[in-house]
Amino acid sequence: MEVKRGRPTKNPKQSKISVRIDAECEAILNQYCQETGKDRADAVRDGIRRLKKRRPRSGRKENEHE
């Protein structure tokens, strides 16, 4: 039987992702973390939650902003 380590949590994080970001995105992320006192993982989770709240604009293509 595997012994669990660390603090128990009511919201375990089971999925892990890894992404590469450019220097501009890293600077934005670091500034956000410094201003809010959040760590990078929590800041990224905030960004993902904001995507859920965002309303898509009608007639706009998905990659149009790039």
9 within a domain of the structure (yes/no): no
pLDDT in tens, the chain (66 residues): 677 777 888 888 889 999 999 999 999 999 999 999 999 999 999 999 999 998 777 666 655 555
Residue 61 to residue 47: CA distance in whole angstroms? 21
10 within a domain of the structure (yes/no): no
27 within a domain of the structure (yes/no): yes
30 within a domain of the structure (yes/no): yes
Q: What pLDDT was estimated at residue 65? A: 56
34 within a domain of the structure (yes/no): yes
Q: Which domain holds residue 33?
A: 23-53
How many structural domains is the chain composed of?
1
Q: Where are the alpha helices (DSSP H) in 1-66?
A: 23-36, 40-53
3 within a domain of the structure (yes/no): no
Q: Are 17 and 24 in contact (CB under 8 A)?
A: no
pTM greater than the 0.85 cutoff: no
